[in-house]
Structure 1
Amino acid sequence: MTTDHDPDRPAVSGDETVKSEPRRKTIDSPYIHRLQRRHFLIFDVLPIFGTVAAVAFLLVRPFGIVDFALLFVMWVVTGLGITVGYHRLFTHRTFKAAPWVGAGLAIMGSMAGQGAVVSWVALHRRHHEYSDRAGDPHSPNLSGAGWGGRLRGLMHSHFLWMRRHEYPNVVHYAPDLLKDRGLVRVARLYYWWVGLGLLIPTVLGGLLTLSWTGTVAGLLWGGFARMFILEHTVWAINSFLHMFGTRAYESRENSHNGGVFALLTFGESWHNNHHAFPTSPSFGLNWYRLDPGYWLIRSLAALGLAWDLELPSDERMAAKRISGKSTAAGNAAAA
């Protein structure tokens, strides 16, 4: 990434040369930590209790087709918003899209409750910069050796890191997004979009069943349980897939593939593929690997709403391929 001004280069004004301070990559302040704790409690902890309440509500109202439809549709909408919008479009710029398509994907991703789009992108770009090294916000491999260290690492990377962490400076990590006024407006309304993601299934649950129990069930299943399921599948990529799975390609970190979870994660579980080729819009890389996120991008491209989809060449993939090596050997190569 480049910015309009290199902070390490002296700024010249007339005959004077003024040395500027290097731009800080992270911001660490009590105010930001309070915001992080609040977000953690509301959007990460509360869905756990909401899911427990949904299960308990089965004593009042059995799980029905309306509940399943609301859960499934909202999960698909918000999940695609994260993988196609937040991740592949805005973080890695793996394709280009019409402005209204980008705004729609950002809203869909915002309803997942995983953070505003600009902050999410900054965090993920920092993750790629320091993956599995000091500075990575959520590596499971930096908490010591042995089973105790691995368990601490998994707990940290899967869930606990969100309580308090250094906040990536969005001016450094996401200057391109800050120049997009429409996207910044969407990001500023983040809490409203999360509320909309809870309101939609609540209202539809009531209207489709014409009952207050359907209204409550819509909120619990299409709202909180949907958030819980999506969050933990996304977080498992940060945690488990940086410890376990298969490695098809050489990469400098400890990323792995978990192809069995490809549909559940909208293609995100081809994680080693992604780290090896982060600018590829396809995480599966081959047609026979399930990748619903790429299917949506291809559909948008067929409609003329997305373009500049560049997959790595066969030669480039062959150069990085780990041939005849076991997962253990792949792990050693990444260490």
Structure 2
Amino acid sequence: MATLTQTGSTSAAIPAAKGPKPIHGDVRDVGRQSLVYLFLLVPMAALAAAVPFAWTTGLLSWTDIALSVGFYLLTLHGVTVGYHRLFTHGSFKPNRAVKITLAILGSMSVQGPLITWVADHRRHHAFSDKEGDPHSPWLYGTSALAMSKGFWYAHMGWMFEARNTTNEERFAPDLRRDRDLVMIDKLFWVWTVATFFLPAILGGLITMSWMGALTAFFWASLVRVSALHHATWSTNSICHMIGERPFKSRDKAANFWPLALLSGGESWHNSHHADQTWARHGVKRGQIDTSARIIRIMEQAGWVTDVKWPTPERVAKLTAD
């Protein structure tokens, strides 16, 4: 039986599967599945309309840009530093305030409740690019048609399957024992409401106008959420299809530099799959990794400890021949 530890990498933060617990969780009911469609497709429609909307109306102000960039960076790093490097892989130990803040900011990315997201991602590492992986682009074959289908599935199609859920008891039992995280997970709807309406409220207050609130809602809420969705999803799709593979891993994860800035350093994906626990994914000189920089700042401030930085010895050992 496959476990949650990955061959050739350190995964102490990910508990091994115990007993015959199934991979999949309960099938999502109609209500929950409808919300998946709503919060993925409505922001995506706004993203698709963004350029023609700005071109034809001119309704894009510096306030909208500032709010969009600000909320993008906050929620991006809530996912990359919080959801991913902390809660999924245990790359560092935070104090309680940092833990709670990162969990809330990650929730405000509207990528799903914390425990669900972590369970899905740990399952991905357990079965990376094999049967059981919730979003591998290689599940249909290697022909052009199969890869096109695989790209769509890995990028976002997997989320539309009500049966493609993950057993949280098997893949995230540690999070289910943390009262703070369970409460934040249950209040996911609150963080979703906040992420959509806070930019609008701020836009209205800054401009002292209803139009300022409306355009901020369009750009800093809808467009920003969808842009972040696609940046994250590209790690699942593009970074398992094309790019460089300088490190040894048991799957097709690749480093894809054009996405490094937009993804907060997550697109150094081959490095990450070589050793899941590293707090820095861009391990080579010049590789942009803003998430690692934030972790370093928090470490220097004394807010986090036991950071798992890559060592020269470990990097050399995992470097592909």
What TM-score results when the alignment is normalised by the length of structure 2?
0.91
* 1:287 Cα deviation from its structure 2 partner: 5.0
Aligned to 1:163: 160
Identity of aligned residues (%): 37
Q: Specify the alignment match of 1:40 in structure 2.
A: 36
Structure 2 letter corresponding to 1:153: G
**Take 2:49 and 2:287, find their aligned partners in 1: how far apart are those partners?**
36
> Structure 1 pair 241/72, CA: closer, same or farther in 2 (3 Å)?
same
CA contact (8 A) 2:103 2:114 kept: yes
Q: 2:108 aligns with which of 106, 111, 117?
A: 111
Letter in 2 for 1:229: A
Task: Kindly provide the CA deviation profile for residues 213-270 of structure 1, in whole angstroms up to 9, marking residues without a partner as x.
Answer: 1111110101000011100011011001101000110100000001232111100010
Q: What are the ranges of 5 or more consecutive residues in structure 1 without an aligned counterpart?
A: 9-21, 324-335
Q: Encode CA deviations 1:142-190: one digit per residue, 9 max, x unaligned.
A: 1123100000000111111100142111111111111110111111100
How far did 1:38 drift? 1.7
Residue pair 1:116, 1:187 contacting (<8 A) in 2 also:
yes
- What does 1:225-236 align with in structure 2 at a 5 Å threshold? 225-236=223-234
Question: Structure 2 residue aligned with 1:86, among 54, 62, 83?
Answer: 83
Q: Does 1:99 align with 2:109?
A: no
Q: Does the 8 Å CA contact 2:204/2:213 hold for their aligned counterparts? A: yes
The correspondence for 1:313, drawn from 306, 311, 314, is: 311
Q: 1:52 to 1:213 in 2, by over 3 A?
A: farther
Runs of 5+ consecutive residues of structure 2 not aligned to the other structure? 1-13
The aligned amino acid for 1:134 is E
Structure 1 segments (4+ residues) deviating >3 Å: 52-61
Deviations 1:59-101 (A, max 9, x none): 4453111010011001000000000000000000000001111
Query: Is 2:123 aligned against 1:136?
Result: no
Q: What does 1:96-245 correspond to in 2, within 5 Å?
A: 96-164=93-161, 165-245=163-243
Between the aligned partners of 2:199 and 2:149, the Cα distance in structure 1 is 36
In 2 relative to 1, CA 289–55 (structure 1 residues): closer, same or farther, beyond 3 Å?
closer
The CA distance in 2 between the partners of 1:112 and 1:33, in whole Å, is 22
* Inter-CA distance 71–158: structure 2 relative to 1 (3 Å threshold): same
- Per the TM alignment, residue 43 of structure 1 is displaced from its structure 2 partner at its CA by 1.4
Comparing 259-268 with 111-120, greater Cα deviation is found at: 259-268
Aligned-residue Cα RMSD (Å) equals: 1.7
Deviation at 1:127, TM superposition (A): 0.2
State the AA in 2 paired with 1:39: L
Alignment of 1:17-56 (within 5 A): 22-29=20-27, 32-52=28-48, 54-55=50-51
Q: In structure 2, how many angstroms separate the alpha carbons of the residues matched to 1:317 and 1:143?
A: 33
Q: State the SS of the aligned residue for 2:90.
A: coil
Alignment map for 1:38-77 (pairs within 5 Å): 38-52=34-48, 54-55=50-51, 57-58=53-54, 59-77=56-74
Please tell me whether the aligned partners of residues 25 and 168 of structure 2 are also in contact (alpha carbons under 8 angstroms): no
Larger RCO, structure (CA 8 Å, separation 6 or more):
2
Distance in 1 (CA, whole Å) between partners of 2:64 and 2:233 is 24
Cα distance in 2 for residues equivalent to 1:53 and 1:212? 21
One-letter code of the match for 2:107?
Answer: S
> 2:158·2:164 contact (CA, 8 Å) conserved in 1?
no
